[in-house]
Chains A and B, each alone.
Chain A
Amino acid sequence: MAFIQVNDLTKSFGNNTVVKGVSFAFDKGEFISLLGPSGCGKTTILRMIAGFERPTSGSITVDGQDITGLKPNRRQLGMVFQAYALFPNLNVGENIGFGLKIAGMPAEQRRARIEEMLKLIGLAGYEKRYPYELSGGQQQRVALARAIAPRPRMLLLDEPLSALDAKIRVSLREEIRAIQLDLGITTVFVTHDQEEALSISDRIVVMNAGNIEQLGAPHEIYNKPATRFVASFVGQLNNIEATVLEAATKTVSIDGQIATVPTLPTDAATGSAVTLTLRPEVLSTFPRDGNDITLTGTIADVTFLGSVIRLRVALGQNIVSLDTFNDQRTAPPARGEPVTISLASKDLLVL
């Protein structure tokens, strides 16, 4: 029996249906990300799990209990908000202890739990500070501690990192994951940042326009995207326009250069145009084992990113981007230089 189960969940605001019959189920202790562009319904699903929105139809079950009609304050869930939402009139200790106080925990035990939480988030000694005295990252850690202090059945994270600086975002997400694994708490994480979702989750629900596009582990989502939307939303994607030279032998022409691909769409006839898609990292500027397609082009643009150099290579009308590692002993390639790139045909995605 799954720990959290969402059955055929639908939510409409007037004529606008933002969640269209979504179902999923996850086990206890899993870290689940709801990933998608803004307006895809991911936040609405989270808010329905939290109880702030009432589903138009469908049900939500947590730990065997149907919570669909329950008031938010009876659900025993924890939630972290995008804008921290710490109570400004309470200090750090009082914020963390708020849920415990509401639950009627004696002051003695409460103090011990607050102490324990502060240690967990690395803010021991900050008990008497007020929220305005903390940085954004510290505030969000306190918000996390506040959410998990009452030992909720599940943790809901509503884009908790998007208000923070890039550096803190990375370190805090690692911290969140570590704490989550440590406590074994089932977590639903809403984000529009695919890198965040890939790095932190056990499983990802990719959403678009109120529907689930794909559900799976991060490597499945990335390596085997089920739809064009998933392929383009998760990770970078190169599109190459090619012409089918001979459908039977799967031979195509890319800017006059001939290559053989593993599969072609069933409706691709000889002479028709097809789009080949591939991830930037399958392209390389030097020969690699198993790379059976070689193409020549010119360098259209060079972006120096430090450890990595991002090249944009023109293959006729097509522009593909690929990353190479910076080699400190040679100068980066220059614009307009000819370049030979290779790839393995099995890495081409056919969507």
Chain B
Amino acid sequence: MTDTTSPRTPPRRIPWDYLAVAPFIIFAVMFLFLPTLSLVGGAFTDRQGNFTLDNIVGLFTDQILAAYWISIRISGASAIFGALIGLAITLAIIRGRLPAGLRSAVMTFSGVASNFAGVPLAFAFIATLGRLGLVTIILRTVFGFDMYRSGFNLLSFWGLTLTYLYFQIPLMMLTIAPAVDGLKKEWNEAAQMLGASQWQFWRYVGLPILWPSFLGTLSLLFANAFGAIATAWALTGSNLNIVTVLLYNQIRGDALQNPGLGAALALGMIVITSLANVIYLIVASRAERWMK
């Protein structure tokens, strides 16, 4: 304040904002972008480092295509069933006038169950539906029904789907609950005053409003199941021919005897999960015209 005439360069200010964001960006580059790009690059290079499409072509063998197809079916089935069942339970709890305390208990449990994935989940289902599982034994000894004789196998498409639902359903419930909460009571009342039945309300108003959130969660559930390996690995070891198990074996011991082919396998997985998201974005943008 005393001497304002002498020319002085202003003190250099520390660019806090850039310094603070830098670690985040470095992290994203090091642990998300570069690894992904390296795989994309690897998918298009041969052992000598030249550009090639052989790796992509190499995916089109019976074994690899079958692995993709089983993975897509399991992920699709567990996502669709998980989303539908999850929505039904969420509607029952939030809109079904069940006791108020039930809701917070169920939502807390969903938080636990949606994270109770991986190896322990496999153990739990072996103890339940495995050959010596409690349900299997009770069905056989009490009801005289042998699930395994009837064609059921935990290490199969339906077995794995049933297991995946244990984390898919709660994940759906947690993500869709805010949208269900957003359905105003007045919309239902307004529809009734205009002569609509409950079914007509859900057909024309309730479900269309939930539709974008439903689709978004569906694609999330699909990606969630598609990338899962721990549960499948702990259930079946390397027996089940799904794409994650195939890739896991490739990473461990170069099971495909071609690193480029492994990268192509990974690229294929990225393309499929991205595709699920792109489909969601396209459908949702049409369904969301009414949103802000």
Task: Mark A residues whose CB is within 8 Å of B.
Answer: 50-52, 71-79, 81, 83, 85-91, 98-99, 101-103, 130-132, 143, 146-147, 150, 156
Q: Which residue of A lies closest to B186 (CB)?
A: A85
| B193 is an interface residue with CB less than 8 A from chain A | yes
How many residues of chain B are within 8 Å of chain A by beta carbon?
21
Q: Which of B194, B197, B204, B291 contacts A150 (CB 8 A)?
A: B194
A98 touches B196 (CB 8 A): yes
Interface centre among A83, A98, A156 (most CB of B within 10 A): A98
Sample 18 A-B pairs with CB under 8 A, ordered by A number. Answer: A50-B189, A72-B192, A73-B194, A73-B195, A73-B197, A83-B184, A85-B190, A86-B190, A89-B205, A89-B208, A89-B290, A90-B204, A90-B290, A98-B204, A143-B190, A146-B190, A147-B193, A147-B194
Residues of B with C-beta under 8 A to A78: 193-194
Residues of B with C-beta under 8 A to A103: 195
Q: Which of A77, A87, A99, A132 contacts B205 (CB 8 A)?
A: A87
Type the 1/0 row for B29-59, where 1 means its CB is closer than 8 Å to any CB of A: 0000000000000000000000000000000
| B252 is an interface residue with CB less than 8 A from chain A | no
| B292 is an interface residue with CB less than 8 A from chain A | yes
Q: Which of A72, A90, A101, A132 contacts B189 (CB 8 A)?
A: A72
Residues of B with C-beta under 8 A to A73: 191-197
Residues of B with C-beta under 8 A to A91: 290
Q: How far is the CA of A77 from the CA of B191 in the complex (A)?
A: 11
Residues of A with C-beta under 8 A to B289: 130
A88 touches B209 (CB 8 A): yes
Q: Which residue of A lies closest to B212 (CB)?
A: A89
Q: Which of A50, A87, A102, A131 contacts B195 (CB 8 A)?
A: A102
Q: How far is the CA of A81 from the CA of B200 in the complex (A)?
A: 20
B189 nearest CB across to chain A (Å): 6
Q: How far is the CA of A81 from the CA of B187 in the complex (A)?
A: 10
User: Can you add 8 more A-B contacts, CB < 8 Å, to A86-B190, A150-B194?
Assistant: A72-B192, A73-B197, A87-B190, A88-B209, A89-B205, A90-B204, A146-B194, A150-B195
Q: Which residue of B lies closest to A86 (CB)?
A: B190
Q: How far is the CA of A103 from the CA of B187 in the complex (A)?
A: 18
Type the 1/0 row for B263-292, where 1 means its CB is closer than 8 Å to any CB of A: 000000000000000000000000001111
Q: How far is the CA of A79 from the CA of B204 in the complex (A)?
A: 19
A317 nearest CB across to chain B (Å): 49
Q: Helix, strand, loop or mixed for chain B's interface?
A: helix
Q: How far is the CA of A76 from the CA of B196 in the complex (A)?
A: 11
Residues of B with C-beta under 8 A to A52: 189, 192
Q: How far is the CA of A150 from the CA of B191 in the complex (A)?
A: 12
Residues of B with C-beta under 8 A to A132: 290-292
Residues of B with C-beta under 8 A to A85: 184, 186-187, 189-190
Q: Which residue of A lies closest to B209 (CB)?
A: A89
Residues of B with C-beta under 8 A to A74: 195
A343 nearest CB across to chain B (Å): 48
Q: Which of B193, B196, B200, B292 contacts A50 (CB 8 A)?
A: B193
Residues of A with C-beta under 8 A to B205: 87, 89-90
B193 nearest CB across to chain A (Å): 4
A81 touches B186 (CB 8 A): yes
B195 touches A76 (CB 8 A): yes
B189 touches A81 (CB 8 A): yes
Residues of B with C-beta under 8 A to A75: 193
B200 touches A102 (CB 8 A): yes
Q: Which residue of B lies closest to A101 (CB)?
A: B204
Q: How far is the CA of A182 from the CA of B16 in the complex (A)?
A: 66
Q: How far is the CA of A131 from the CA of B291 in the complex (A)?
A: 9
Q: Which residue of A lies closest to B288 (CB)?
A: A89
Q: How far is the CA of A251 from the CA of B291 in the complex (A)?
A: 70
Q: How far is the CA of A119 from the CA of B189 in the complex (A)?
A: 26
Q: Which residue of B lies closest to A47 (CB)?
A: B189
Q: How far is the CA of A74 from the CA of B198 in the complex (A)?
A: 12
A92 nearest CB across to chain B (Å): 11
Residues of A with C-beta under 8 A to B191: 73, 87, 98
A99 touches B194 (CB 8 A): yes
In order of increasing CB-CB distance, the 8 nearest A-B pairs are A99-B194, A85-B186, A72-B192, A79-B193, A130-B290, A85-B190, A102-B195, A89-B208
Type the 1/0 row for B168-194, where 1 means its CB is closer than 8 Å to any CB of A: 000000000000000010110111111
Residues of B with C-beta under 8 A to A77: 193
Residues of B with C-beta under 8 A to A86: 190
CB-CB under 8 A for A72 and B290, given A83-B184, A87-B187, A89-B205: no
Residues of B with C-beta under 8 A to A143: 190
Q: How far is the CA of A91 from the CA of B205 in the complex (A)?
A: 12
Find residues 78-105 in chain B having any chain A CB closer than 8 Å to their own CB: none
Q: Which residue of B lies closest to A83 (CB)?
A: B186
Find residues 188-239 in chain B having any chain A CB closer than 8 Å to their own CB: 189-197, 200, 204-205, 208-209
B72 nearest CB across to chain A (Å): 31
B182 nearest CB across to chain A (Å): 9
Q: Which of B189, B194, B290 contacts A131 (CB 8 A)?
A: B290
B264 nearest CB across to chain A (Å): 42
Interface centre among A72, A76, A146 (most CB of B within 10 A): A72
